[in-house]
Amino acid sequence: MKRKTKYVLLGLLRDESLTGYELKSAIDNRMSFFWQESYGQIYPELKMLLEDKMIDVLSDNNETKHDKVKYKITNRGLSVFNKWMNEENEKDTVRSEALLKFFLADSTNLDALTKHLEIYNKHSVDLLELYLQYERQLTGLVGVHDNHKYLLEILSLGIKQQELYSQWSREYLKKIKRNVL
């Protein structure tokens, strides 16, 4: 997949001005079920976006403070973002070592399978809680921002996905413990 970091940053900055650190947090906390970025991509990309006039530094009142820079999107950035929105998507890339092990497991690995299922279940439940929290936060502000409706739609997919994962792994564990498998 070609460089997409640009669009993630631009997309998030349409909504509110954020620092590089805050952008990373937003991606980790709200988008982790379908996307991730590292600082090694974010900071260099912000620099390039600034050079290309797609974002601007939001001048903070504090003088001589060079750290903590909030960025805002420019019209040029907006138009680049909108162009991307209309382009065709590249195909998804996914790699889940847990699911790989579940796929490759058999009766000779029952102990390992059980261990990984337990970890997977805990992780799914935790992520589910994180997204539910975000949902509550958004529904508490209904009407404030129009595009929350769209955010809630994709969030509901993330929630249902985590529900599926946690239920599936719980049931699988039950079967193993009952010696059904």
Q: Report the interface residues with DNA, using CB under 7 A.
A: 1-5, 19-22, 25, 36-41, 43-44, 46-47, 67-69, 90, 93, 95
The least distance separating DNA from the CB of residue 181, rounded to whole angstroms, comes to: 30
Q: Which residue in the set 119, 122, 126, 139 belongs to the binding site for its own copies (CB under 8 A)?
A: 119
The least distance separating its own copies from the CB of residue 63, rounded to whole angstroms, comes to: 34
Helix (H, G, I), strand (E, B) or coil at 70: strand
The owner of tokens 């399978």 is 113
| Nearer to its own copies (CB atom), residue 11 or residue 21 | 11
Q: What is the CA radius of gyration of the chain?
A: 21
Exposure string of 58-76, with b = 16+ CB inside 10 Å and e = fewer, is eeeeeeeeeeebbbebbee
Pair 58, 7: CB distance under 8 Å: no
The least distance separating DNA from the CB of residue 98, rounded to whole angstroms, comes to: 15
24 scored as a contact of its own copies (CB under 8 A): no
26 scored as a contact of its own copies (CB under 8 A): no
Residue 105 to residue 94: CA distance in whole angstroms = 19
* 82 binding partner (options its own copies, DNA, none; Cβ < 5 to 8 Å by kind): its own copies
Q: Which residue in the set 3, 137, 146, 178 belongs to the binding site for its own copies (CB under 8 A)?
A: 146
Closest of 7, 3, 14 to residue 85, by C-alpha: 7
Residue 42 to residue 5: CA distance in whole angstroms = 7
Q: Which residue in the set 82, 118, 126, 174 belongs to the binding site for its own copies (CB under 8 A)?
A: 82
Q: What is the DSSP string of 150-179?
A: HHHHHHHHHHHHHHHHHHHHHHHHHHHHTT
Which residues bind to its own copies, rule: CB under 8 A?
1, 4, 7-8, 11-12, 14, 30-31, 33-36, 82, 85-86, 89-90, 92-109, 111-113, 115-116, 119, 146-147, 149-151, 153-154, 156-157, 160-161, 164-165, 168, 172, 175, 181
